[in-house]
Structure 1
Amino acid sequence: MAELSKWAPSDMLEPIKRFLDGELAMTSSMKIEQFQDGDTLVVRAEVPGIDPDQDVDVSVSEGMLHIKAERVERSEHKSKMGYRSEFRYGSSQRSIALPRGAKEEDITATYKDGVLEVRAPATATPPESTAKKIRIEHS
């Protein structure tokens, strides 16, 4: 009869440790900061530990800014007691109303140190109602 892998007590605490370390944050609502900077709407979203080119989608449609982030993490644990592999998935999204007169072509997005910042300047012209993907720049 094959022997089953034995779990150490620390294995049972792993999900709690990940939660306390903030690693499960992507499974809940995305944390954002939203404010006006003159005539510009500024939205900052906390999305640490992701690749902005692969894991974040910023788009505009019908006067709304949409931010979606998705995370896939894999970890392996090897010991003399056995082998364990874990996959962690999480996604979150937020939609924010754009100010009247914001043009899709003027909206910019940057990513630095785990924070996505989207800036939407407002002008006198009302926004168009077509969807457009916003390119994310990062340093």
Structure 2
Amino acid sequence: MATVARRTPSPVAEMLEWLGSSSPFHTPFDVHNVGLAPFVRVEDYIEDDSYVLRAELPGIDPEKDVEVTVEHDMLTISGERREETKDKNHREFHYGAFKRAVALPAGAKTDAITASYDNGVLLVRVPLGTEEASSVKIPIQRSE
């Protein structure tokens, strides 16, 4: 059974989430596309003695465009999005650097972290135990 991971949210991230939600004060535009850095939506939870983080990263190449690192007790997803869509009368670019950092729960085993990418979702699994966190770069595997 999965349990929700407790973390202290960023006030800025909460405000952006609120502005982008369907609140009574919702504006007709998406606040994530008005000159702000690209936003990475994540969900995280504890499942089977592991901390699990899922990040929405559609339209990227995980080998070239994303880096997952751990330093001390912070898991960081960073990279750059480059996407172009075009049709007969319209062309649109989506690009820019992104970065999202999340505090790891106590006892995270940073030497055993795994990351995979499938259908636009990055899945990071961090086994939990009693180990201290250190600085690590995690390779991302593409699902075929």
Number of the residue aligned with 2:95: 89
Deviates more, 1:47-56 or 1:118-127: 118-127
1:39 pairs with 2:43 = no
Q: Which residue of 2 aligns with 1:124?
A: 130
What secondary structure is seen at the aligned counterpart in 1 of 2:63?
A: helix
Q: 1:75 to 1:34 in 2, by over 3 A?
A: closer
Deviations along 1:5-27, one digit per CA (max 9) or x if unpaired, are xxxxxxxxxxxxxx88xx95994
Maintained 8 Å contact 2:81/2:98: no
Instruction: Find runs of 4+ consecutive structure 1 residues off by over 6 angstroms.
Output: 76-79
In structure 1, how many angstroms separate the alpha carbons of the residues matched to 2:91 and 2:42? 32
Return the index of the structure with the highest Cα Rg. 1
Query: Which residue among 51, 56, 77 is the counterpart of 1:67?
Result: 77
- 2: CA distance between counterparts of 1:118 and 1:109? 4
> Is residue 70–residue 76 contact of structure 2 (8 Å, CA) maintained in 1?
yes
1:1-139 alignment runs, 5 A limit: 24=33, 27-74=37-84, 87-128=93-134, 131-139=135-143
What is the aligned partner in structure 2 of residue 7 from structure 1?
none
Percentage of identical aligned residues: 43
Deviates more, 1:101-110 or 1:111-120: 101-110
Query: Contact between 1:47 and 1:69, CA under 8 Å: does it hold in 2?
Result: no
Q: CA RMSD in A?
A: 2.8
Cα shift at 1:125: 2.3
> Is the contact made by 2:78 and 2:99 (CA closer than 8 Å) also made in structure 1?
yes
**What 5-or-longer segments of structure 1 have no aligned partner?**
1-18
Whole-angstrom distance in 1 between the partners of 2:55 and 2:129: 24
Secondary structure at the aligned position of 1:88 is classed as strand
Normalised by the length of structure 1, the TM-score is 0.68
- Equivalent residue, structure 1, for 2:16: none
State the Cα deviation string for residues 21-58 of structure 1 (Å, max 9, x = none).
xx959943210011110321100000000000000110
What is the DSSP-based 3-state SS (H/G/I as helix, E as strand, rest coil) of the residue aligned with 2:111?
Answer: helix
Query: Where does residue 5 of structure 1 map in the other structure?
Result: none
Amino acid paired to 2:121: V
**Which 5+ residue runs of structure 2 have no aligned equivalent?**
1-28
